[in-house]
Amino acid sequence: MNATIPLPMAESDRAGRDRLELLTTLINGPSFDPLFCRDVIRIPSDHPVYPWQCVVADCERSRWATGDLCAIHRAQWNKAKAAGTRRAAFVRSALPLTRTVSLEPIICRICVHRPAFNRQLALCHRHRNRWRAHVRTHGTKTGFERWLKTQTPYPTYGECRTGACLELATSPLGLCVLHEDRYGDVGKPGGATLPRGWFGSYEYHDKPVPVRYDDESAFRRWCAAQVPVMRIGDLNLRGLRPLLRAEIRWGLHAHVQGEQRQAWELPWLQPCWNSATTDVLSRCSTSTLPAARKTTSDG
Ligand SMILES: [Zn+2]
Ligand SMILES: [Zn+2]
Ligand SMILES: [Zn+2]
């Protein structure tokens, strides 16, 4: 069966309410794939219909755009193809690559609820600075592991304040690293800022850090309109209207059924989710979605 993502109706319409009720019954039924029941759907890398890992054996990188190879192997394949190499031979002989992006968020190994600023050491900004100060004063003779035992966790900044984001906030402003960057890039709507020298004046003395706003409502509106940070292999349905969420769940489930199923690679599905979060998909027809590709694509 080929799944379609139909034009969603508003839950406030009678037809929309009826459809939501019907879909909810189907989704709660015994034959519905439990993989699609969660708000954050974690797709296995080798899923037969929603694959996201490069097809070169043992390559840990995710597929690129609409192909079944990662970006590096795609570039290598383009050259090999031009030189007359057969596709199967290339996939067999290409050297696998290690992952450059973690599937899970890296958190401070001491605080646990603060994101890691230094990913290699897995330390938040504050603990990274403490480790550097320790090395400056004592060198590395005491060892990282022994130093870790002398450290205590700091309070969390909470989850990112943007609607559907699952990341931890990186500062008292309440935004994750990516959303804090985006907020700065768009000129800080609502003017949310932290006091100058907030760390030395507040956090260092265990005082709560005040957030100042020009217009807090504008800041909250900006937060609510943001798409979540997408992690490889995840489809994040948080923040979507119940009917749209149910439509997507059912569409994903239905597309897996039957013998004529085609692969939908996650790298092109995920932007659809982002569009849905900003309420664009809810006004689009299926014609805006890219054509499905066959599982046996030659990339
Ligand atoms: Zn690859
Ligand atoms: Zn920490
Ligand atoms: Zn975020």
Instruction: State the ligand closest to the CA atom of 157.
Output: 2
Length of the chain measured in residues: 299
In this structure, how many other beta carbons lie within 10 angstroms of the beta carbon of residue 170? Answer: 22
Nearest to 217 by CA among 180, 186, 192, 184: 192
User: What tokens does 198 get?
Assistant: 């907030």
Note residues around ion ligand 2 (Cβ under 5 angstroms): 108, 110-111, 114, 124, 127
Ligand 2 center from residue 123 Cα (angstroms): 5
Ligand 2 center from residue 120 Cα (angstroms): 13
pLDDT tens per residue across all 299 residues of the chain: 444 444 445 667 888 889 999 999 999 999 999 999 988 899 998 888 888 899 999 999 988 877 889 999 999 999 999 999 999 999 999 999 998 777 778 899 999 999 998 888 999 999 999 999 999 998 877 789 999 999 999 999 999 999 788 899 999 999 999 999 999 999 999 999 999 999 999 999 999 999 999 999 999 999 988 888 878 888 888 878 888 889 889 989 988 887 777 887 776 676 666 666 554 333 333 333 333 333 333 33
Note residues around ion ligand 3 (Cβ under 5 angstroms): 160, 162, 165, 167, 176, 179
Contacts of 120 (CB under 8 A, 6+ apart): none
Phi and psi (nearest 5°) for 235?
-120, 115
